[in-house]
A = this chain, B = another copy of it.
């Protein structure tokens, strides 16, 4: 039975984050003591650890919620979980490709810029083009 700051220390989350997860109903409502202080039994610590791991893997909080529900559902099929993961992989790969394109174009423009004390600059020129 740990306090919120102890739960934060154990999970690497901030106190703010833990309260936030409660507010958006990502985790179960923690019990309180007589003076209103939250405390965190193991079951809640497990939920928090799960969220930390899923977040680190690239899932946002809404996705964490779905995954956490699946993790606690005895009758889940791993197919559902795998679909979500594969979708996330595709999503990240798409983002990567887009950023690679971006960086490629930016490099091309940047190479043409002399980078000296003169004002003439291919980067500025490229951004000044209409359309």
Kindly identify which residue among B81, B88, B119, B128 contacts A106, using a CB–CB cutoff of 8 Å. Answer: B88
- Copies assembled: 2
Interface residue tally of chain A, by bracket? Answer: 35 or more
Chain B hits for A53, CB < 8 A: 126-129
Chain B hits for A76, CB < 8 A: 119, 121, 124
Q: Which residue of B lies closest to A107 (CB)?
A: B89
Q: Which residue of B lies closest to A79 (CB)?
A: B115
Min CB distance A1 to B, Å, is: 17
Min CB distance A67 to B, Å, is: 7
Min CB distance A13 to B, Å, is: 13
Taken together as a complex, chains A and B put the C-alpha atoms of A32 and B7 apart, in Å, by 56
